[in-house]
């Protein structure tokens, strides 16, 4: 997953993973021309992209990436405070780890530690095709 970050939405928005642990991820994102809406505030969609990126990155650490992947199934967000500049920091923590789903709680704060956004992201755990299945499908 890491090899594709710069060419993905994560790279485009300037999201950086700062800490990755077992069931916990911390990442930052700049509040700049890439992430602001026309009124100069952090775009809610950028906050949601940050939240889902944190949850997905964390979920990938909890599966065998040679056999499984995680994909976003559902996400919600409450935007509780605006921010115009600087950086925001997201902390994601797993609250459910099942065989086929994971649920992550993600809180985003500004540089003064004000709560900006609260999000909950559900991930689906999917099985990757076996190498022999991939060859058969491509033929």
Alpha-carbon distance 15 to 106, whole Å?
A: 15
- Spot the catalytic one: 2, 16, 52, 74: 52
52 labelled catalytic: yes
Alpha-carbon distance 89 to 120, whole Å?
A: 16
φ/ψ (deg, to 5) at 137 = -70, -30
φ/ψ (deg, to 5) at 36 = -95, 150
By annotation, the residues acting in catalysis are 52
């Amino acid at each position: 997953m890491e090899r594709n970050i710069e060419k993905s939405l994560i790279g485009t928005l300037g999201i950086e993973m700062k800490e990755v642990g077992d069931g916990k991820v911390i990442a930052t994102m700049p509040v700049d021309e890439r992430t602001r809406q026309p009124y100069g505030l952090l775009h809610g969609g950028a906050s949601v992209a940050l939240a889902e990126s944190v949850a997905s990155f964390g979920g990938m650490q909890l599966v065998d990436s040679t056999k499984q992947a995680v994909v976003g199934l559902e996400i919600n967000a409450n935007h509780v405070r605006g921010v115009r500049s600087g950086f925001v920091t997201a902390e994601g923590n797993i609250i459910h780890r099942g065989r086929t789903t994971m649920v992550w709680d993600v809180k985003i704060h500004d540089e003064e530690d004000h709560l900006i956004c609260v999000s909950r992201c559900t991930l689906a755990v999917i099985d990757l095709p076996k190498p022999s299945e991939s060859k058969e499908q491509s033929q």
